[in-house]
């Protein structure tokens, strides 16, 4: 791990930059590597002869670097020496500017580049004397020694100047009048050299002639990677103004020389100078087109786009201002007797929201939306919604509970006679169920699954009773099984009540609980012994019961009856057992499962369906012995009728409350 | 069921009667008596389920055979091991051992559910939806019924078809409007089906209420 020195983020080994802040994690390598120059921008290695990087184009060598052999070892800086000798190969504008300035003769080099005032000389960064003196002479590096020597030379120079002539103001440099804006630039010059005309029109002309042009100074990344030429020569090469004037320290305004103050006062000409002749000859097509255009023409906006334009906001009209003479006179308070007093209400009242102007004939739904927005803006108070009190709402619920309770209870208490449920025809699925059981041969093995929880027993017992009664009457041998742990006990209780006296193991057997849901059912369907090995009551092996002789898989049962209280269990039976060939399924389920099971009945996967107490009553009626379930019918019919009326009344008069 | 005598059935009947009243007290508001009845129901159901599973599954089908004849029933060690791994879920550091058993259970369950769903529901229901609407073949009323089934089934599927063309004219626009209208019909079919679910569910719960009232009347000797 490499930890970032800036943000402390842990980076993987070998990382060069921090993944979090991008800081460099390893020290930058040298720029020069064995005859190659490393680009300071992209890091690519380039031959030493390259001036620019072959990868990114960054300059590898400084523009103004002077070969060491051309640098004089002693004497003034070459710039000072050659200040008045403008070489033709000097290609920056400084040369031209110097040439222009030098019409009246080049300024004296010493006057231009030497510090003019003692104040400027004091700005030279000098080490404190005590520090310099404490260092032994032999330990001072060459750089510092050369610096010290130069500082001493300059101090001596300043001392001589102070002795020879009193300090004067900065010598004024003659600036041509066209630079100061008093006069336009000579056109003959532009005509003589059209390629230089744009250069002369640049505002950089206002720069002081002493200031060097914008020279791209190459900055070496590290001190030890400086080029090979001597550092002393570099310092000698630097002009004096750069040595003694750090850029950050600008002299105060009063110290500015006059020529600089005048240059600051130069203002750009109000009108652009006329284009050069060579520029006039260039014909630009768009300029020709603009000649004939007087004013912009608004483009045609399609109606749909115009319709989307937002409505203009119309500020509320300000009330007409009445003159103070006509204004009401204040009659009360400390301002009594004064006219034109602002009303207190106007100062504290909330300003009205801006109204929206009407836009006619907007063809889309924007009107509706805007009207809603306007309504929301202009509505002073929220709409009053009648919320019934909590006590009143609870009273309504109590009334509903009471009515339903009485509708279920009264028929049981008064023992209303069973309603003639057989008068309407029995549903076909119930008749089919009855026919399937009726068609079973005597002593047929039938598997009955009790797949409901005890909380569903009130309804499911009413459904299971007629089915089990019918099977008993048909002489079928019944085996019960369950996918829920409480199912076997429920089945045992019902069968004991219905069958009365029977031979356990011959007429009836309880196979108990089958775990594993789908997996248990699949095992039961493919091989009974895989799912059930022992019966529920006595725990004996299944082989010991006569009823189970010859029963090995699901298709060995003549019929499988599913008593289900949950949709998942009925689906497991249909999908895992009913899909096997030779298996006949019939379902007696809770009333709420009828929408689930009817598609399977219509597809033929279920041979019969009994759903809920009403259809169980039909089944009892088909059996010809109405007893237990039929006694439910009056209470069931009355309670359902009351519930239906309540729902209807709630939809018609409830108002959604 | 009568109220004479103090046999266990009579006592159980009165306890059930009292617990039924406690549950009915929820009609007033949620109260501790109702909570007591609910907690009793949950606790008794869980305890009973454990006893059943212990007796009929663990002892009879797993531990018993292993103790009787280990060599013949060595294969039962695999479910025993998987079951023990499930207990590692009680320890957070070793809980991942239980993932083996859970993966086995979920993998087998998912495979059975997919296979059963394809063969037991999807394919039979697809076949059942290809109904004839020819009155000469299936009769007038049956053909009407089949026509409604087909229209409702396809319309219900179209209601969940959310992509379509934006064309408002031409054949494409006509087709889009037609499909949109059919999907609206399918939405009404779905609403009717949901109404049927609600109605049958309400019938079921009214039956439960009547059964409970009838039980209470029997306890009271009515």
A65-114 pLDDT, tens digit per residue, is 555 555 555 444 444 444 444 454 445 555 565 555 554 444 444 444 44
Cβ distance A146 to A232 under 8 Å? yes
DSSP per-residue codes, B114-125: HHHHIIIIIHHH
Quote helix, strand, coil % in chain A, to nearest 5.
45, 10, 45
Distance from CA of B92 to the nearest CA of A (A): 26
Question: Closest to B203 (Cβ–Cβ): which among A574, A599, A614?
Answer: A614
The answer to whether the beta carbons of residues B208 and A459 sit under 8 Å apart is yes
pLDDT of residue B193: 92
Q: Is the pLDDT of residue A139 over 80?
A: no
Contact state of B200 with A611 under an 8 Å Cβ cutoff: yes
Cα A252 from Cα A250, distance rounded (Å): 6
Look at B211 and A412 and tell me if their CB atoms are within 8 Å.
no
Rg from Cα positions in chain A: 55
* CB atoms A534 and B202 under 8 Å: no
Beta carbons of B116 and A534 less than 8 Å apart: no
Return the residue of A nearest to B127 by Cα.
A603
Shortest CA distance to A424 belongs to which of A618, A594, A590?
A618
pLDDT at A296: 62
B202 touches chain A (CB under 8 A): yes
Compute the nearest-CA separation of B9 from chain A (Å): 13
- Contact list in B for residue A462 (CB cut-off 8 A) is 207, 211
Nearest-angstrom CA–CA distance, A206 and A93: 12
Q: What is the per-residue pLDDT for A201?
A: 44
Give the closest-approach CA distance of B36 to chain A in angstroms: 16
Provide, as residue numbers in chain A, all residues whose Cβ is less than 8 Å from the Cβ of B218: none
Chain A interface disruption, residue of B207, B217, B220, B222, most A CBs within 10 A: B207
- Of the two residues A13 and B185, the one the predictor is more confident about is B185
Q: Exposed, middle or buried: residue A547 (CB in 10 Å: 0-12, 13-18, 19+)?
A: buried
Distance in Å, alpha carbon of A474 to nearest chain B alpha carbon: 27
**Closest chain B residue to the Cα of A404, Cα to Cα:** B206
Q: Tell how far CA A161 is from the center of its chain.
A: 71
pLDDT at residue A194 tops 80: no
- For the segment A414-440, the average pLDDT, to the nearest whole number, is 82
On whether the CB atoms of residues B147 and B178 are closer than 8 A, the answer is: no
Chosen from A408, A483, A628, A637 to mutate, greatest number of chain B CBs within 10 A: A408
Closest-CA residue to A172 (of A120, A92, A101, A240): A101
> Which of A398, A518, A562, A627 to mutate against chain B (most B CBs within 10 Å)?
A518
Residues of B in contact with A457 (CB under 8 A): 211
Partner-chain contact A575 B125, CB within 8 Å: no
Cβ-Cβ contacts under 8 Å, B75 against chain A: none
B-chain residues near A613 (CB < 8 A): 203, 207, 210
Q: Do A578 and B120 touch (CB under 8 A)?
A: yes
Alpha helices in B3-97 (DSSP H): 8-24, 32-53, 64-68, 77-87
pLDDT for A106 equals 44
Q: Is B217 on the interface with A (CB under 8 A)?
A: yes
Please tell me the least confidently modeled range out of A13-27, A232-246, A248-262, A534-548: A232-246
SS3 content of chain B, % helix, strand, coil (to 5): 80, 0, 20
Sequential DSSP letters for A332-358: SSTTTT-BSPPPHHHHHSPPPPPEE--
Pull the structure tokens for residue A167.
């300090």
Q: Choose the mutation target among B108, B202, B206, B212 for the interface with A, i.e. most A CBs under 10 Å.
A: B206
Query: Which residues from A are below 8 Å from B208, CB to CB?
Result: 455-456, 458-459
Task: Mutation target for A interface from B107, B120, B125, B216: give the one with most A CBs within 10 A.
Answer: B120
Q: What is the mean pLDDT of residues A57-70?
A: 66
- Nearest Cβ partner of A515 from B41, B53, B193? B53
Rounded Cα distance between A606 and A430, Å, is 11
Nearest to A643 among B41, B113, B206 (CB): B206
B120/A409 CB distance under 8 A: no
The closest CB to that of B200, out of A512, A571, A595, belongs to A595
- In terms of Cα–Cα distance, which of B29, B21, B201, B197 is closest to A397? B29
The three-class DSSP label of residue A524 is helix
β-strand partners of A36: A33, A47
**Chain B interface, best mutation among A396, A398, A418, A579, by max B CB count within 10 A:** A579
Q: Smallest CA–CA separation between B116 and chain A, in Å?
A: 5
Please, what is the angle between helix A390-414 and helix B170-219, to 10°?
A: 60
Say whether residue B191 is in contact with chain A using an 8 A CB cutoff: no
Cβ contact, residue pair B207, A613, below 8 Å: yes
Which B-chain residues 22-81 have CB contacts (< 8 A) with chain A?
A: 27, 41, 45, 48-49, 52-53, 55-57, 60-61
Give me A317's structure tokens: 């009209």
CA distance B136 to chain A (A): 20
B187 touches chain A (CB under 8 A): no
The candidate with the shortest Cα–Cα distance to A633, out of A432, A464, A415, A467, is A415
Name the least confident of A116-130, A546-560, B7-21.
A116-130
According to the model, what pLDDT value does residue A200 have? 42
Q: Is B197 on the interface with A (CB under 8 A)?
A: yes
> How confident is the model at residue A51, as a pLDDT?
82
Nearest CA in chain A to B126: A603
- pLDDT at site A552: 86
Report the distance separating Cα A516 and Cα A538, nearest Å: 22
- What pLDDT shows up at residue A444? 92
| pLDDT computed for residue A446 by the predictor | 95
* Facing B204 at nearest CB: one of A489, A591, A635: A591
Among B49, B109, B211, beta carbon nearest to A458: B211
The token duo for B42 is: 């949950």
Mean pLDDT, rounded, for A186-208: 44
Distance from CA of B68 to the nearest CA of A (A): 14
Instruction: Give the per-residue pLDDT at A225.
Output: 46
Condensed to tens digits (0 to 9), the pLDDT of residues A314-366 reads: 555 555 665 555 556 777 667 777 776 666 554 445 555 544 444 444 445 66
The stretch A555-579 carries a mean pLDDT of 93
- Count Cα atoms within 13 angstroms, Cβ side, for A365: 1
Average pLDDT, chain A: 70
C-beta atoms of A636 and B207 within 8 A: yes
Q: Where are the domains of chain B?
A: 131-222
Chain B residues touching residue A410 (CB < 8 angstroms):
none
pLDDT averaged over 10-residue windows placed end to end, chain B, 222 residues: 65 93 90 94 92 90 90 90 91 89 93 92 88 85 89 91 74 84 93 93 93 92 82
A552 vs A260, residue with greater confidence:
A552
């Amino acid at each position: 791990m490499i930890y970032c020195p800036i943000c402390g983020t842990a980076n993987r080994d070998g990382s060069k930059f921090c993944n979090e802040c991008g800081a460099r994690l390893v020290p930058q390598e040298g720029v020069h590597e064995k005859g190659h120059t490393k680009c300071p921008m992209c890091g690519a290695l380039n031959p030493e002869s390259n001036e620019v990087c072959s990868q990114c184009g960054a300059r590898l060598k400084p523009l103004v670097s002077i070969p060491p052999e051309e640098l004089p070892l002693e004497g003034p800086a070459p710039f000072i020496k050659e200040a008045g000798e403008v070489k033709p190969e000097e290609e920056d504008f400084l040369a031209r500017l110097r040439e222009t300035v030098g019409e009246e003769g080049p300024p004296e080099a010493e006057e231009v580049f030497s510090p003019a005032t003692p104040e400027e000389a004091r700005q030279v960064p000098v080490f404190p004397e005590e520090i310099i003196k404490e260092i032994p002479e032999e330990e001072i590096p060459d750089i510092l020694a050369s610096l010290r020597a130069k500082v001493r030379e300059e101090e001596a120079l300043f001392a001589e100047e102070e002795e020879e002539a009193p300090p004067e103001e900065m010598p004024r440099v003659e600036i041509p009048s066209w630079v100061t804006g008093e006069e336009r630039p000579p056109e003959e010059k532009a005509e003589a050299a059209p390629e230089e005309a744009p250069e002369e029109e640049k505002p950089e002309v206002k720069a002081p002639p002493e200031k060097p042009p914008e020279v791209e100074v190459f900055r070496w990344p590290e001190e030890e990677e400086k080029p090979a030429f001597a550092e002393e020569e570099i310092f000698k090469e630097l002009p004096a103004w750069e040595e003694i004037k750090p850029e950050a320290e600008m002299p105060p305004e009063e110290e500015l020389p006059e020529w600089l103050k005048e240059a600051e006062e130069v203002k750009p000409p109000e009108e652009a100078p006329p284009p050069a002749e060579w520029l006039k000859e260039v014909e630009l097509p768009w300029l020709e087109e603009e000649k004939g255009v007087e004013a912009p023409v608004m483009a045609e906006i399609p109606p749909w786009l115009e319709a989307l334009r937002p409505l203009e906001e119309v500020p509320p009209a300000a009330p007409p201002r009445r003159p103070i003479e006509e204004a009401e006179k204040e009659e009360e308070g400390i301002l009594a007797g004064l006219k034109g007093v602002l009303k207190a209400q106007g100062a504290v009242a909330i300003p009205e929201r801006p109204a929206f102007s009407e836009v006619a004939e907007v063809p889309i739904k924007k009107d509706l939306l805007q009207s809603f927005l306007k309504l929301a803006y202009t509505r002073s108070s929220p709409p009053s919604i009648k919320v019934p009190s909590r006590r009143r709402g609870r009273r309504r619920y109590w009334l509903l509970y009471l009515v339903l309770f009485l509708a279920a209870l009264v028929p049981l208490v008064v023992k209303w006679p069973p309603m003639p449920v057989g008068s309407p025809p029995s549903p076909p699925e119930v008749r089919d169920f009855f026919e399937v059981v009726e068609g079973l041969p005597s002593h047929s093995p039938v598997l009955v699954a009790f797949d409901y929880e005890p909380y569903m027993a009130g309804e499911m017992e009413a459904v299971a009773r007629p089915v089990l009664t019918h099977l008993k009457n048909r002489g079928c041998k019944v085996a019960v099984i369950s996918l829920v742990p409480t199912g076997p006990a429920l089945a045992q209780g019902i069968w004991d009540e219905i069958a009365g006296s029977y031979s356990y193991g011959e007429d009836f057997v309880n196979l108990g609980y089958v775990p594993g849901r789908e997996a248990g059912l699949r095992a039961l369907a493919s091989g009974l012994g895989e799912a059930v090995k022992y019966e529920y009551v006595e725990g004996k092996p299944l082989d010991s019961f006569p009823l189970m002789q010859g029963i090995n898989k699901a298709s060995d049962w003549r019929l499988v009856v599913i008593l289900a209280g949950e949709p998942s269990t009925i689906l497991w039976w249909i999908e895992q057992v009913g899909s096997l060939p030779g298996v006949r399924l019939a379902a007696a389920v809770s009333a709420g499962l009828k929408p689930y099971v009817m598609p399977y009945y219509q597809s033929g996967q279920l041979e019969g369906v009994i759903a809920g107490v009403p259809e169980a009553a039909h089944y009892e009626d088909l059996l010809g012995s109405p007893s237990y379930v039929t006694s439910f019918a009056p209470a069931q019919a009355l309670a359902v009728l009351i519930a239906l009326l309540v729902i209807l009344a709630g939809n018609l008069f409830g108002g959604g409350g | 069921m009568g109220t004479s005598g103090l046999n266990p059935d009579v006592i159980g009947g009165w306890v059930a009667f009292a617990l039924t009243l406690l549950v009915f007290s929820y009609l007033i508001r949620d109260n501790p008596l109702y909570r007591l009845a609910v907690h009793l129901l949950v606790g008794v159901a869980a305890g009973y389920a454990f006893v059943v599973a212990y007796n009929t599954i663990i002892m009879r089908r797993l531990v018993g055979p292993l103790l009787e004849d280990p060599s013949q029933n060595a294969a039962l060690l695999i479910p025993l091991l998987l079951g023990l791994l499930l207990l590692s879920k009680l320890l957070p550091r070793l809980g991942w051992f239980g993932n083996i058993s859970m993966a086995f259970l979920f993998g087998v369950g998912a495979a059975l559910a997919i296979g059963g769903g394809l063969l037991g529901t999807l394919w039979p229901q697809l076949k059942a939806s290809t109904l004839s609407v020819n009155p000469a073949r299936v009769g007038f009323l049956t053909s009407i019924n089949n026509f409604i089934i087909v229209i409702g089934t396809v319309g219900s599927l179209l209601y969940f078809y959310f992509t379509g063309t934006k064309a408002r004219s031409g054949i494409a626009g006509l087709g889009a409007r037609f499909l949109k209208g059919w999907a609206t019909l399918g939405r009404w079919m779905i609403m009717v089906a949901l109404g049927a679910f609600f109605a049958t569910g309400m019938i079921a719960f009214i039956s439960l209420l009547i059964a409970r009232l009838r039980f209470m009347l029997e306890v009271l000797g009515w």
